[in-house]
Amino acid sequence: MMSKKTVSDIGILGGTFNPIHLGHTLPAKAVAKHLSLDEVLFIPASIPPHKASPNVSATQRATMVKLACESESIFSCDERELQRSGYSYTVDTLKELSLAYPNSRLYFIMGLDSLLTFTHWHKHQEILLFCHLIVNTRPNYQLDNINQATQILLNEHQVDDVHSLKQKKSGSILLLPCDLPNNEKLININLSSSEIRQRLINKQSCQTMLNPKVLDLINKNKLYR
């Protein structure tokens, strides 16, 4: 068994964060509390030029993430994928993080939709060598609907509770319940960055969707207009 005194627990949340919103930060806070994480790294991904928002740079996306992270002392922005040339694969980022944090357990936080495509990710077999997967589930979702490859993955790696998860440094998958505190209010909101961008274009209110500092930056710089 790994000792809590010598091993820190770090959550990892990746995404384009274009822009980062409460649908990212509130569940991350709930997961951090549930798993007793010491730190949560938000890692903005690079966006190919043809997919990027017209007047929003990688630097501005990272700035928004940093502002959103100010609300929680354990949150921080990690810009390694923005500084890397070429396409950023999750497995490469996790390799780097495992070297940067050799005495830590890494918990890669994802949504259920990401789990369903996980077996198609680049070198997905290697990802679990460096981290545990933490999956935010959805209410009333039947896991018997998942494809065979994902079912095999769960059969080999799924654990039932946090205690079992922390017996190893990596290699396990934990499906979180939908009713974690701070998660409940988001169940029916289903926030998405694309919806928020459209609301900003239409000059509709986003006050209940964004951190106030993030919204202020967007308005001051007329982003997504």
pLDDT at 183: 59
Domain-wise residue ranges, the chain: 8-221
Higher pLDDT, 210 or 182: 210
**pLDDT of residue 188 exceeding 50:** no
Mean of per-residue pLDDT scores for the chain: 90
pLDDT at 144: 67
DSSP state string for the chain? ---TTT-EEEEEEEE--TT--HHHHHHHHHHHHHHT-SEEEEEEPP--TTTS-TT--HHHHHHHHHHHHTTSTTEEE--HHHHSSS---HHHHHHHHHHH-TTEEEEEEEEHHHHHHGGGSTTHHHHTTT-EEEEE--TT--GGGS-HHHHHHHHHHEESSHHHHTTSSS--EEEEPTT-TTTGGGTTT---HHHHHHHHHTT---TTTS-HHHHHHHHHHTTT-
| pLDDT tens digits, 95-154 | 999 999 999 999 999 988 899 999 999 999 999 999 999 998 866 666 767 889 999 999
State mean pLDDT over 85-103: 93
Q: Which CATH class name applies to 8-221?
A: alpha beta
